[in-house]
């Protein structure tokens, strides 16, 4: 099986722009989660999608949004970029179970490194 | 709310020595606990997980962890460190709403 893929791998943007990151989960996985990783804040949970619905959401401003398509692929959008949005954005997929409690293994993609200038 | 605390942001051991990475958790529900490893410029890879059942959990690459409810701990160990174990390790707990909460990470250095 192919692993989780994320595109693009690297991205450079300027303040005020918006960006869309893409994640393709492992075939058959219905849950996709997004995380932001920075040296200062570590790994922070952004949101999780399951069957095209946002099931969980972390503590991020509304500039961060996402969606999931019927084939389970997911996109994450950040509008009005700020310097502090520079980070590695990780996507993880899992089989997902109705009810929300995650104990299936999450498989991570390699991440998209976003640099905001 | 669920959270994890990893004690020690950096741990250095000699090759062949015991590896001990510490993790304490806080959870309002029976915890699901995980250890992940991250190599440079890569995503996270699951080492092992505890959900229910046996409290001593064995994972990949010779790692194991023991769930101790009385101590709210889930420390990661490996009897003999290898150079290839050098990486960053993250402890995580599954929240009651299904979200994963990660610790700040511990960078393991292995000296020859």
Tell me the per-residue pLDDT of B32-76, one tens digit each, with 9 for 90 and over: 899 999 998 888 999 999 988 889 999 999 999 999 999 999 999
Which chain A positions have a beta carbon within 8 Å of B96's beta carbon? Answer: 101
User: What is the biggest distance separating any 2 CA atoms in chain B, rounded to whole angstroms?
Assistant: 43
Q: Are B21 and B108 in contact (CB under 8 A)?
A: yes
Whether residues B45 and A108 touch (CB distance < 8 A) is answered with yes
Closest CB to B43: pick one of A45, A105, A108. Answer: A108
Q: Which residues are within 8 A (CB) of A39 and not within 5 positions of it... i.e. 6 or more apart?
A: none
- DSSP bridge partners of A54: A49
CA B105, B99, A60, B27 dihedral sign is negative
Pairwise CB contact (< 8 Å): B100 & A103: no
Show the tokens assigned to A115: 């640099």
Please, which residues bridge with residue A19 across strands? A78
Q: Provide the pLDDT for residue B36.
A: 96
Q: Is the CB of A45 less than 8 angstroms away from the CB of B46?
A: no
Ranges of residues in chain A with a pLDDT under 50 are none
Give the residue-averaged pLDDT of B7-29.
94
d(CA A19, CA A42): 21
> How many angstroms away from the CA of B34 is the closest CA of chain A?
9
Chain A, chain B: beta-carbon pairs less than 8 Å apart: 64
Comparing CA positions, the residue from B40, B43, B27 lying closest to residue B100 is B27
Which residue among A4, A56, A90 places its CB closest to the CB of B97? A56
Tell me the Ramachandran region of residue A65: left when phi exceeds 0, alpha when psi lies from -120 to 50, beta otherwise: beta
Q: Does B53 touch chain A (CB under 8 A)?
A: no
Q: What residues of A are in contact with residue B98 (Cβ under 8 Å)?
A: 48, 55-56, 99-102
**Rg of the Cα trace of chain A?**
13
Instruction: Find the residue in A nearest to B4 (Cα).
Output: A43
Over residues B71-102, the pLDDT tens digits come to 999 999 999 999 999 999 999 998 666 678 89
Is the CB of A111 less than 8 angstroms away from the CB of B43? Answer: yes
Band the pLDDT of B9: cuts 50, 70, 90. Answer: very high
pLDDT at A102: 55
Q: Quick check: B1 pLDDT over 80?
A: no
Question: Which chain B residues contact residue A111 at CB under 8 A?
Answer: 42-43
């Amino acid at each position: 099986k192919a692993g989780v893929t994320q595109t693009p791998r690297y991205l450079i943007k300027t303040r005020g722009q918006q960006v869309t990151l893409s994640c393709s989960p492992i075939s058959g996985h219905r849950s996709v989660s997004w995380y932001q990783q920075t040296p200062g804040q570590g790994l922070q949970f952004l949101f999780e999608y399951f069957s095209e619905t946002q099931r969980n959401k972390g503590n991020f401003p509304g500039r961060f949004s996402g969606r999931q398509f019927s084939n389970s692929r997911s996109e994450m959008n950040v509008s009005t970029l700020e310097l502090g949005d520079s980070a590695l954005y990780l996507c993880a997929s899992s089989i997902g179970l109705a009810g929300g409690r995650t104990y299936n293994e999450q498989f991570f993609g390699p991440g998209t490194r976003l640099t905001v200038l | 709310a669920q959270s994890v605390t990893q004690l020690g942001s950096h741990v250095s051991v000699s090759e062949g020595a015991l590896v001990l990475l510490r993790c304490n958790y806080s959870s309002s529900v029976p915890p699901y606990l995980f250890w992940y490893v991250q190599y440079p410029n890569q995503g996270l890879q699951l080492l092992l997980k505890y959900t229910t059942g046996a409290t001593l959990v064995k994972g990949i690459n010779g790692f194991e962890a023991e769930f101790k409810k009385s101590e709210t701990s889930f420390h990661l160990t490996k009897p003999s460190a290898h150079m290839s174990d050098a990486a960053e390790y993250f402890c995580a707990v599954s929240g009651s709403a299904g979200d994963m909460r990660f610790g700040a990470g511990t960078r393991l250095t292995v000296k020859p």
